[in-house]
């Protein structure tokens, strides 16, 4: 009898790390604006530029399609996603639902030490706001606050849902902050500080109200950076 017959020997394919690397590089290129909305992505060109085969590039594009950062058109090719105002509305409404649930769980289950993590992030925001910083750095720390809030909620599926939406949230924020740099410099710190205080006081209603107002104000300014559906570039 084969002593290994009860359980197969499993190993990750050797190309997995390479595919992850290509995915990360393309994601960063999209989220930093190196690859523009509507720009075509050609597998062969990416493979040549990264000195790899087309397989890892193809795998990466499939993952980015799942993240809604790229779109594929049959017989046309793959393009960087172009978000319009309807897209922004959908992303923000889903984000709000996820984060309001996170607030409930943080108030009920998070420890004071975990809420301290949010406090430290707000202090980092305040320090950053007093200095020169890039819009990418501002976006990083903003999203890290909301990611941490979801993480310390203890709701695993909620966290998974937020992380799946995160690339699209980041894309929206970067579009806006590139168009209107400095818009969040002062208000962002105070918004987040008030939310932390309400969470620390275990006041669910106040925390939910503050978060809702924060996201509504954010969306109101963000939406101005996006075209209406009919104004977007022509699809291939």
- Whether 59 and 173 share a structural domain: no
- Whether 174 and 105 share a structural domain: yes
Helix residue ranges, H only, 67-110: 85-109
Those residues whose C-beta lies under 8 Å from the C-beta of residue 193, and which sit 6 or more positions away, are: 122
Per DSSP, which regions of 2-59 are E strands?
40-41
Judge whether 35 lies within some domain. Answer: yes
- Whether 212 and 193 share a structural domain: yes
Judge whether 234 lies within some domain. Answer: no
Number of H helices, E strands in the chain: 9, 3
The rounded radius of gyration (Å) of the Cα atoms in the chain is 20
Judge whether 4 lies within some domain. Answer: no
Those residues whose C-beta lies under 8 Å from the C-beta of residue 155, and which sit 6 or more positions away, are: 101, 102, 105
- Whether 29 and 97 share a structural domain: no
pLDDT at 185: 60
- Whether 76 and 90 share a structural domain: no
**Tally of domains in the chain:** 2
- Whether 177 and 64 share a structural domain: no
191-223 pLDDT, tens digit per residue, is 999 999 999 999 999 999 999 999 998 888 777
Dist. CA 194–CA 190, nearest whole Å: 6
What's the average pLDDT block by block, 10 residues per block, for the chain (236 residues)? 47 63 88 84 90 90 90 91 87 97 98 98 89 76 96 98 92 68 67 96 97 91 70 49
């Amino acid at each position: 009898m084969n002593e290994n017959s009860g359980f197969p020997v499993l190993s990750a394919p050797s190309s997995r790390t390479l595919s992850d690397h290509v995915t990360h590089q393309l994601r960063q290129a999209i989220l930093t604006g190196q690859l523009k909305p509507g720009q075509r992505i050609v597998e062969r060109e990416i493979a040549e530029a990264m000195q790899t085969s087309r397989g890892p590039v193809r795998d990466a594009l499939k993952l980015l399609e799942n993240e809604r950062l790229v779109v594929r058109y049959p017989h046309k090719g793959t393009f960087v996603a172009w978000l319009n105002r309807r897209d922004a509305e959908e992303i923000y409404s889903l984000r709000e639902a996820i984060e309001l649930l996170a607030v409930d769980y943080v108030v009920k289950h998070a420890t004071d030490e975990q809420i301290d993590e949010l406090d430290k992030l707000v202090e980092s925001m305040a320090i950053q706001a007093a200095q020169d910083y890039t819009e990418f750095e501002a976006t990083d720390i903003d999203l890290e606050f909301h990611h941490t809030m979801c993480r310390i909620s203890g709701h695993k599926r909620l966290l998974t849902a937020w992380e799946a939406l995160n690339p699209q949230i980041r894309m929206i924020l970067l579009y806006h902050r590139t168009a209107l740099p400095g818009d969040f410099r002062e208000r962002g710190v105070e918004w987040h500080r008030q939310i932390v205080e309400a969470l620390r006081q275990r006041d669910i209603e106040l925390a939910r109200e503050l978060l809702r107002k924060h996201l509504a104000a954010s969306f109101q300014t963000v939406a101005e950076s996006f075209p209406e559906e009919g104004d977007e570039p022509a699809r291939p």
